[in-house]
């Protein structure tokens, strides 16, 4: 009888101790993706025309000039459309890269990238009404394709300068306006490596600088 009591007491004690064991749970915090490291930089403050931005196209009423350390872009044709100026910066766009600029206009102006002699590349537009958009500009044989249609952003300063950034990290393009993330979309094939500016018909726009890192 005594042995049965001891066995029962031990069983109850074991059960009590087991029930008092504290379960510990650890929250796994996902690691942030590494910040891209860039080894090369192209910088133009538009102090001079060393990179051959300036042109005059009287037939299309399109002009680019460098005035007071700004790039001035005017496009006033009879009909609608866009006009692009883009140069070779040396950037390799098949890997991570970052394009930064500051622009303002009285209508719509944007960054253009992935341009070649036969391919009009991609455009990241902002307008003076507080909207932005992303387009594939196509080729002479293929029309413009909309990636992101015009949408409002409170980050845009109307009638003022706006800092615009386009970054490729891995397989994604991310756009920023005045430090605010505007979009993230899957990266697309680029037929060229030139980078520059694009304006909508009826626009006089300005750029303060262009920096490209890759």
User: Model confidence over 96-128: pLDDT tens digits?
Assistant: 999 999 999 999 999 999 999 999 999 999 999
Tell me if 88 is assigned to some domain. yes
Token couple for 40: 């090369």
Tell me if 158 is assigned to some domain. yes
Into how many domains does the chain fold?
1
pLDDT at 36: 80
CB-based burial of residue 170 (10 Å sphere; 0-12 exposed, 13-18 middle, 19+ buried)? exposed
pLDDT at 31: 59
- Are 144 and 132 in contact, with CB atoms under 8 Å apart? no
Instruction: Say which DSSP state 56 is in.
Output: E
Tell me if 151 is assigned to some domain. yes
Tell me if 80 is assigned to some domain. yes
pLDDT at 32: 56
User: Which secondary-structure segment (H or E) carries 24?
Assistant: none
CATH number of the domain bearing residue 65: 2.60.120.560
pLDDT at 126: 98
Q: Which residues of the chain have pLDDT under 50?
A: 1-26
Tell me if 21 is assigned to some domain. no
Domain that holds residue 61: 41-213
Tell me if 7 is assigned to some domain. no
Tell me if 208 is assigned to some domain. yes
pLDDT at 8: 40
Tell me if 96 is assigned to some domain. yes
pLDDT at 187: 98
Q: Using alpha carbons only, give the angle 105, 106, 108 rounded to the nearest 5 degrees.
A: 65
Contacts of 65 (CB under 8 A, 6+ apart): 54, 71, 72
State the Cα–Cα distance between residues 107 and 109, nearest whole angstrom: 7
pLDDT at 1: 44
Strand partners, 75: 62, 203
């Amino acid at each position: 009888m005594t042995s049965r009591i001891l066995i029962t007491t031990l069983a109850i004690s074991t059960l009590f101790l087991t029930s008092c064991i504290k379960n510990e749970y650890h929250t796994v915090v996902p690691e942030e993706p590494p910040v891209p490291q860039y080894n090369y930089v192209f910088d133009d403050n538009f102090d001079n025309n060393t990179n051959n931005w300036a042109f005059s196209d009287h037939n299309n009423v399109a002009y680019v000039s460098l005035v007071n350390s700004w790039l001035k872009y005017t496009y006033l044709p009879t009909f609608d459309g866009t006009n692009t100026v883009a140069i070779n910066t040396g950037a390799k766009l098949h890997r991570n890269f970052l394009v930064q600029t500051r622009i303002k206009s009285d209508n719509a102006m944007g960054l253009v990238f992935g341009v070649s002699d036969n391919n009009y590349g991609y455009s990241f537009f902002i307008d003076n009404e507080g909207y932005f958009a992303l387009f594939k500009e196509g080729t002479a044989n293929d029309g413009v394709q909309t990636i992101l249609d015009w949408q409002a952003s409170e980050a845009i300063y109307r009638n003022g300068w706006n800092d615009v950034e386009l970054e490729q990290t891995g397989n994604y393009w991310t756009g920023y306006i005045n430090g605010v993330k505007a979009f993230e979309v899957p990266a697309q094939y680029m037929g060229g490596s030139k980078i520059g500016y694009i304006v909508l018909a009826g626009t006089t726009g300005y750029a303060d600088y262009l920096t490209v890192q890759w």
